[in-house]
Amino acid sequence: MAILSTKKVTKRFGGLVAIGDLDIEIKEHSIHSIIGPNGAGKTTFFNCITGFYRPEAGEILLDHHSLVGLLPDRIVRLGISRTYQNIRLFPNLSAMENILVGLHSHLRAGFFGILVGFPAVQQEEKEAAEEARRLLRFVNLTGKGDFLAKNLPYGDQRRLEIARALAARPKLLLLDEPTAGMNPRETRDMMDFIRHL
């Protein structure tokens, strides 16, 4: 069964067709790669799936529900999370805090609840911190939770970005050029890591 399918997705920028009539079907528990030269529309396609761009034509379906026209935060809550071609961490937040940002879409407590500090909110914060620590372990960043994101080595920043995306508990994880800027050893390590997701 397909978790994601697109039918005749088209996105134009002025007279330039970035994506033309793209059909794709992604099944659960599978790994797919979208390959093409720079400017081929790979990131544009991810941006259409995740609600950053709206296609001019076509359908994008997650579990048979249309994503076209939905805002990115709604698409995250429906089950799609992503990383970016250029790392987009919060550089002045710790690794732990970056992951907690990713967990935000699943927390029940709002801003007021956090300010007041209700017992249920405190329990939820405790559980979120434990999940963030589990994700740090999962991406081999144990002991680096207090490090500012900007002070982590490049490969660690990439893994932290994946941990933050996983914190949203996605059904579908989109990785936009996850090995960009990595040396051969870091690239091998990242590919091994992705296979084990």
pLDDT tens column, 134-191: 999 999 999 999 999 999 999 899 999 999 999 999 999 999 999 888 889 888 988 8
Residue 44 reports pLDDT greater than 70: yes
Look at residue 111 in the predicted model and tell me its pLDDT.
47
Helix, strand, or coil here: 44? helix
Burial of 60 (0-12, 13-18, 19+ CB in 10 A): buried
Q: Is the dihedral of CA 53, 59, 64, 68 positive or negative?
A: positive
Distance CA 52, CA 61 (A): 15
Confidence class for position 1, pLDDT limits 50, 70, 90: confident
Q: What percent of the chain has pLDDT over 90?
A: 68
- In CATH terms, the fold of domain 2-89+172-195 is Rossmann fold (3.40.50)
Boundaries of every domain in the chain: 2-89+172-195
Look at residue 117 in the predicted model and tell me its pLDDT.
65
Distance CA 34, CA 52 (A): 18
